[in-house]
């Protein structure tokens, strides 16, 4: 008993060390730094404990407000669309047809391409002179070409489009796994009872898919909160700060401006936001399960 | 002892000796740079340096092309005191920051006053911080105005001497050409560092400043700066440019000009060679170049740009690093780079060099512009200040209904907060 416990501990040790050094330590360190004023380019100011000053600054920083707003809008628009499209793709891929295996692989391509590469591709697509979007909209009539990345609203929409293209396959993958877990017996029974396709979808597929949908929602939300590379490559936060999402703002503060304390406060805020959203989802997840059990 | 053992022992011995010899023989000098415009010239120069310094191997790490991204890479390395970094290229706005942070090595011990006097003054002063010199300039940039000589001649318009003139000239030509493809002006108005250079040229050309360096307060909310920004929004972008410029950095704006789709164009000196190269440009031979105008004649201001070499304070071989920097910024190397790329050298003597004069006759006429080019104010908190300014400029240009006065007041307040950090400094 004792020795087996010791063995268990021994085998767990590597993962403890791994999680501790790559996950817990950075989070704790970010928390610690967020209470200091630390500016790399002004070393003579030293590392001064300032309590909550970075956070009170954050609360009164209009740029941070704008960044939080941009991030939340980004999440609110992209995630529902990703899940809807993902659901559609998953339903199609769940049908038996010739070439399904190949199609399943093809659908995953956008997700497999490194984001920096696909962002660069999207930057070209939205180019104001030789971009595909302009060509599709206006053909050769270049006098009517628009410049999506030069307009604050269109730039945000462009980034959202790239994000949806890139991550819908991920949502589709999770939902497809959920679909495959639903037993065919249920559909057969429903057919015997004379249910229409819509009724089957509404009363069998959707309820049983809830866990998969919630899981996709959870992953996508955490991921979208940290959106960075698309912005970095496509707009650098502009124009007019329209695409200056929180994570990019934090990056600029920490790495470009050397304001490590303030940047850490932003990082902690992102962390707190994703924690709160995750907990809320998990709660909803649990409740939905309870509801299913009680008739 | 078995044969296998003997053989493996022997092999290990040979390998060990070999490694030891290789290590003893070569000293590596690590150099972080961008992809050069004339890579063959750099390769050759570095090979020459290695030949002159037997046993030295220069290991190049090619970083991102964008100044901002290269800055992030370098500051990461320097912040972590990476000893595998000896020499690096620096944008003209970095030296005071790198100096203040203790990342760049002061070079006065090597780079003495008589040697410094052989360089143009503006880039040298941009490389100094609190009386010490932290970098050696390689080439200099200054904002210039390019124009379509053929179109101006065709419509009998003379090269503009002020910004309002330029707007009128562009409108006249646009009205007569009736070409839907043509725009009046192309420049760099994306939210990035280049936006600060562009806007600074209008503000200084109107007698304003980005910030007041004696009182250390922002000057963006003063009338001269406000009027200049309003002019850019309402007249330059509003009347003669197209909104695409709000997403343009140098390459995109130059492509528009070399594609024959812009009458006027603001860029750095390298654009001259590109615009006149028939392989890259539809308007080769039809290009004119002049100093940037101001708001009244003779008031024009050009932003100073350019690149320098710096040495890391954590380098374990500063003497060798200096030899490399001295070689790369020496007359020979600067001349080769100038001849290959048309980049403007920083050594004054090269402006009288017959070969350079023969190949790039315009360089000498630009010497006056280079001498007067205005550096962006040097301060260790340049990056945060620049980010505030970029945000302000981009928001008033991209959102035509914003209240400039109010946005400027906001930006000025934010800048003053950053500048205040320098006030309570206990000088080290």
Share of chain A above pLDDT 90, in %: 64
Q: Taking CB atoms and an 8 Å cut-off, how many pairs form between chains A and B?
A: 118
In a domain, A43, yes or no: no
pLDDT in tens, B355-374: 999 988 888 888 988 988 99
Q: Into how many domains does chain A fold? A: 1
In a domain, A273, yes or no: yes
pLDDT in tens, A241-270: 999 999 999 999 999 999 999 999 999 999
pLDDT in tens, B152-207: 999 999 999 999 999 999 999 999 999 988 999 999 999 999 999 999 999 999 99
CB nearest to A63's CB, from B252, B391, B426: B391
Retrieve residue A105's tokens: 């692989």
DSSP A208: H
In a domain, A205, yes or no: yes
| Residue A15 backbone dihedrals phi, psi, to 5 degrees | -70, -35
Residue B14 has pLDDT above 80, yes or no: no
Report d(CA B296, CA B275) in Å as an integer: 28
In a domain, A36, yes or no: no
In a domain, A51, yes or no: no
The answer to whether B100 contacts A236, with C-beta atoms less than 8 Å apart, is no
Provide DSSP, B314-359: T-S-HHHHHHHHHHHTSHHHHHHHHHHH-PEESBGGGGG-HHHHHH
In a domain, A155, yes or no: yes
CATH number reported for the structural domain that contains residue A104 in this entry: 1.10.3720.10
CB nearest to A150's CB, from B68, B247, B427: B247
DSSP A204: I
Domain around A146: 76-293
Q: Is A143 left (phi over 0), alpha (psi -120 to 50) or beta?
A: alpha
| Residue B249 backbone dihedrals phi, psi, to 5 degrees | -100, -170
Domains and CATH numbers, chain B: 25-141+304-372 (3.40.190.10), 144-301+381-423 (3.40.190.10)
A259 touches chain B (CB under 8 A): yes
pTM of the model: 0.88
Chain B closest CA to A210's CA: distance in Å?
42
In a domain, A55, yes or no: no
**B chain contacts of residue A45, beta-carbon cutoff 8 Å:** 421, 425
A45 touches chain B (CB under 8 A): yes
**A chain contacts of residue B390, beta-carbon cutoff 8 Å:** 238
Nearest Cα neighbor of B177 from A50, A110, A41, A143 is A143
Chain A closest CA to B89's CA: distance in Å?
17
Q: Return the pLDDT at B86.
A: 96
In a domain, A258, yes or no: yes
B131 touches chain A (CB under 8 A): no
Mean pLDDT computed over every residue of chain A? 90
Residue B148 has pLDDT above 90, yes or no: yes
Place of tokens 């690149």: B307
Chain A closest CA to B339's CA: distance in Å?
32
B255 touches chain A (CB under 8 A): yes
pLDDT in tens, B214-270: 899 999 999 999 999 999 999 999 999 998 999 999 999 999 999 999 999 999 988
Residue A60 has pLDDT above 70, yes or no: yes
Mean pLDDT of all residues in B289-301: 90
Nearest Cα neighbor of A75 from A288, A211, A277, A237 is A277
């Amino acid at each position: 008993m004792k020795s087996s416990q010791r063995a268990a501990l021994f085998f767990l040790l590597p993962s403890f060390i791994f999680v501790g050094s790559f996950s817990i330590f950075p989070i704790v360190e970010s928390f610690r730094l967020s209470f200091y004023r630390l500016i790399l380019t002004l070393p003579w100011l030293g590392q001064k404990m300032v309590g909550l000053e970075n956070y009170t600054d954050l609360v009164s920083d209009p740029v941070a407000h704008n960044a939080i707003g941009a991030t939340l809008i980004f999440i609110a628009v992209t995630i529902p669309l990703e899940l809807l499209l993902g659901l559609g793709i998953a339903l199609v891929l769940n049908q038996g047809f010739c070439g399904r295996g190949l199609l399943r692989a093809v659908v995953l391509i956008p997700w497999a391409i490194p984001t920096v590469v696909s962002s660069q591709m999207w930057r070209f697509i939205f180019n104001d002179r030789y971009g595909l979007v302009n060509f599709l909209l206006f053909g050769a009539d270049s006098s009517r070409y628009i410049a999506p990345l030069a307009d604050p609203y269109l730039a945000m929409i462009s980034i959202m489009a790239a994000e949806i293209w890139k991550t819908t396959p991920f949502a589709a993958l999770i939902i497809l796994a959920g679909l495959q877990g639903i037993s065919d017996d249920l559909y057969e029974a429903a057919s015997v009872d004379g249910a229409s396709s819509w009724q089957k979808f509404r009363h069998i597929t959707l309820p049983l898919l809830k866990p998969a949908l919630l899981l996709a929602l959870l992953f996508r939300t955490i991921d979208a909160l940290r959106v960075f590379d698309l912005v970095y490559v496509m707009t650098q936060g502009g124009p007019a700060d329209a695409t200056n999402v929180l994570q990019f703002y934090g990056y600029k503060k920490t790495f470009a401006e050397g304001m490590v304390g303030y940047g850490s406060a932003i990082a902690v805020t992102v962390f707190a936001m994703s924690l709160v959203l995750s907990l809320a989802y998990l709660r909803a997840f649990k409740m939905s399960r309870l509801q299913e059990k009680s008739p | 002892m078995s044969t296998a053992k003997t053989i493996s022992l022997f092999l290990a011995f040979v390998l060990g000796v070999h490694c030891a010899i290789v290590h003893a023989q070569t000293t590596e000098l690590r150099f972080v740079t961008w992809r050069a415009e004339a890579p063959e010239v750099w390769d050759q120069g570095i090979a020459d340096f290695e030949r002159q310094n037997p046993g030295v191997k220069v290991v190049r790490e090619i970083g991102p092309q964008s100044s901002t991204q290269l800055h992030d890479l370098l500051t990461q390395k320097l912040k972590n005191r990476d000893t595998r970094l000896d020499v690096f290229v620096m944008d003209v706005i970095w030296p005071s920051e790198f100096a203040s942070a203790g990342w760049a090595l002061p070079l006065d011990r090597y780079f003495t006053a008589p040697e410094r006097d052989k360089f143009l003054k503006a880039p040298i002063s941009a490389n100094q911080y609190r009386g010490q010199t932290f970098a050696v300039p390689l080439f200099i940039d200054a904002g210039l105005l390019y124009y379509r000589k053929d179109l101006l001649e065709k419509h009998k318009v003379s090269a503009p001497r002020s910004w309002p003139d330029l707007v009128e000239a562009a409108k006249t030509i646009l009205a007569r050409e009736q070409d839907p493809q043509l725009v009046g002006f192309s420049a760099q108005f994306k939210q990035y560092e280049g936006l600060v250079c562009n806007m600074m040229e209008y503000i200084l050309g109107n007698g304003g400043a980005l910030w007041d360096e004696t009182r250390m307060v922002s000057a963006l909310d003063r009338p001269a700066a406000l009027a200049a920004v309003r002019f850019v929004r309402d007249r330059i972008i509003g009347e003669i440019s197209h909104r695409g410029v709000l997403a343009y950095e140098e390459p995109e704006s130059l492509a528009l000009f070399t594609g024959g789709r812009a009458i006027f164009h603001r860029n750095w000196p390298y654009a001259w060679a590109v615009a006149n190269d028939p392989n890259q440009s539809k308007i080769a031979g039809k290009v004119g170049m002049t100093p940037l105008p101001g708001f009244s004649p003779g008031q024009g201001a050009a932003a100073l740009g350019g690149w320098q070499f710096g040495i890391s304070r954590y380098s374990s071989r500063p003497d060798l690093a200096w030899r490399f920097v001295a070689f790369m910024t020496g007359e020979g190397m600067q001349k080769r780079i100038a001849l290959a790329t048309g980049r403007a050298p920083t050594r004054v003597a090269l402006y009288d060099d017959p070969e350079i004069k023969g190949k790039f006759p315009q360089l000498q006429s630009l010497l006056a512009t280079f001498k007067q080019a205005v550096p962006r104010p040097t301060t260790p908190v340049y990056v945060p200040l620049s980010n505030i300014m970029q945000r302000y400029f981009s928001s008033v240009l991209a959102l035509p209904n914003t209240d400039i006065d109010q946005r400027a007041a906001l930006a000025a307040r934010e800048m003053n907060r950053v500048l205040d950090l320098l006030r309570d400094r206990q000088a080290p």
